[in-house]
Structure 1
């Protein structure tokens, strides 16, 4: 039977841990935002977060690729990556992908909506 997006997100969530927005902010670890650039203009950004849209994640996270982003690849085996999207679905799939690539990745509960609900800082 084919999988739905909901199925894929549920499977990814089963494979990765979550952290609260407060835990992610206070960790000193990399916060990876996998939303599209236009979304940042609409809902703001987490200060200091690194933007890699979900659609380009694999080519940016692969240290052997010419398109690799060192700010991300230097975390492989050397720290945790907390992944954020609008509400959590894309972040779960991205964190699971990163996990399969050898990263220690978690999902920030509630995504950007959860971040804002927690009253944490947002850049506009």
Structure 2
């Protein structure tokens, strides 16, 4: 699966190495897991909510990661969902923490304007 369009939309403002690379590697693993389980998904645009639900309920459980690693994968999944341009409805359905006021500002973000990621 070609993830270059997704990666070009994700910006890591001031995030220190190796964290950006770790996010990108986790996104690649998530996409590879979806493609392995659902062979018809050959482009990131074809990823649906049911695939993200499968990742959380089955794949992450099967891997039996510790809580911190699991949270890292969920954070990367949230970045993938935002980079795909999916709605905040997905974040709520997956029970991922929605964007809210307060807290520490995020160092990673997703560019929405096409002029910035072409």
* TM-score bucket (shorter structure): 0.3 to 0.5
Normalising by structure 2, report the TM-score. 0.35
Q: Work out which structure has the larger RCO, using CA pairs closer than 8 Å and 6 or more positions apart in sequence.
A: 2
Normalising by structure 1, report the TM-score. 0.34
Q: Which has the higher helix share?
A: 2
